Chains A and B, each alone.
Chain A
């Protein structure tokens, strides 16, 4: 976790501890996607990705934190970056977890693999006992 002074000024943190936090997190991502000027399709994709990630953190990770940041690449293109981390058991076999149809929870097993298709950049940092952090970026076309 970055110390406060290193966090981008636009970055906002949202705790995911209870069922209602899933909705709050979705609202926050929607509001930031609207503010960043994303189209309705792009808003829907990033909010759906956020929904998958925060539910994963809530169900598999026992809760976590979502950070939303407005980012820019070198060409000045704006994007929305979401980072969802939990202190849960972590994922032993990431490749398996990314495979469509694989699920240990209540979903369809499309959570992680599907989320990767909804965003432009996707990184996952996890290991057993170490928790899981998934960071995604969707760039504004």
Chain B
């Protein structure tokens, strides 16, 4: 199923959720964007959440890949939200002079879900009958 980059891409309704690993090499990054773009189009995806909390560095190549993926997704009608950037990565990126222009970011995946319109049904969950 994930013959491309080998990174799992989960689907929740019309949202795709995936995460990048600490050891992202250039070839994997490019395969992943191809795979994600194809699924956005094929499955009529409205939003993509990319968790990067395990990503240890973002250099100018990875930054470009993220910016292009966000731009391509937008052209296809989907929003991409990059979630969970490590503080050290954010500091380094801004020092490099890269702001990830055009890429929406969130503190974590849960906030990204909220940005895409998902709400945690706190009360509903509490009231829901438990399976005995």
- List the interface of chain A (C-beta within 8 A of B): 19-20, 22-23, 26, 30, 40-41, 43-45, 47-48, 51-52, 55, 100, 106-111, 113-115, 117-118
Q: Which of A26, A45, A106 contacts B95 (CB 8 A)?
A: A45
**A106 adjacent to B61 (CB under 8 Å):** yes
Is B57's beta carbon under 8 Å from chain A?
A: yes
Given the interface pairs A20-B25, A22-B26, A110-B98, the reply to whether A118 lies near B92 with Cβ below 8 Å is yes
| Partner pick for A44 among B23, B26, B91, B97, CB 8 A cutoff | B91
Seen from chain B, the residues whose Cβ lies within 8 Å of a Cβ on chain A are: 23, 25-27, 56-61, 63-64, 67, 86-89, 91-92, 95-98
List, in ascending order, chain B residues with CB within 8 A of A107's CB.
60-61, 64
Q: Inside 8 A of B86's CB, which chain A residues have their CB?
A: 44
What B residues does A113 contact at CB under 8 A? 97
Q: Are A110 and B97 in contact (CB under 8 A)?
A: yes
| A111→B27 CA distance, assembly (Å) | 18
The docked-state distance in angstroms from the alpha carbon of A23 to that of B95 is 22
Cβ of A128 to closest chain B Cβ, rounded Å: 24
When C-beta atoms are compared, the residue in chain B nearest to A20 turns out to be B25
Asked, given contacts A107-B61, A108-B63, A118-B96, whether A23 binds B89 with beta carbons under 8 Å apart, the answer is: no
Q: Which residue of A lies closest to B62 (CB)?
A: A51
Once the chains are docked, how many angstroms separate the CA of A40 from the CA of B57?
Answer: 11
A40 and B25 contacting across the interface, CB-CB below 8 Å: no
Partner of A108, one of B60, B88, B91: B60
Rounded to whole angstroms, the CA-CA distance of A26 and B97 in the bound complex is: 21
Cβ contacts under 8 Å, A43 to chain B: 88
- Min CB–CB distance A74 → chain B (angstroms): 27
Distance in angstroms from B71 CB to nearest chain A CB is 13
- B25-A44 in contact (CB<8A): no
In the assembly, what is the distance between CA of A107 and CA of B67, in Å?
11
A44 touches B92 (CB 8 A): yes
List of A residues within 8 angstroms of B88 by Cβ: 40-41, 43-44
Considering the chains assembled together, what is the distance between the CA atoms of A107 and B61 in angstroms?
A: 5
